[in-house]
Amino acid sequence: MCSVDTIVAEYAGYQIDLVSRSPLLGSIELSGQDDEVINLKISKSDAERLMSELARFIAAEANT
């Protein structure tokens, strides 16, 4: 459940822009409320954790 101060955003399907190779950093564009653009900066460790959580999320469908 989202709290009052939560920003709701949607992944727009765009590629991750490479910001830096060392350290590995990228930027993902999200579409926020009222069509605002949110640039999410992501590191390698953030991306690895996100991939792990997304895999668990997708697997949850098979467990129902």
Q: Is the pTM of this model over 0.85?
A: no
Altogether, the residues listed in the chain come to a count of 64
Cα gap 17→29, rounded to integer Å: 9
Average pLDDT over residues 3-18: 84
Supply the pLDDT for residue 2: 62
Q: Identify the band that residue 1 occupies on the pLDDT scale cut at 50, 70 and 90.
A: low
The overall average pLDDT reported for the chain is 89
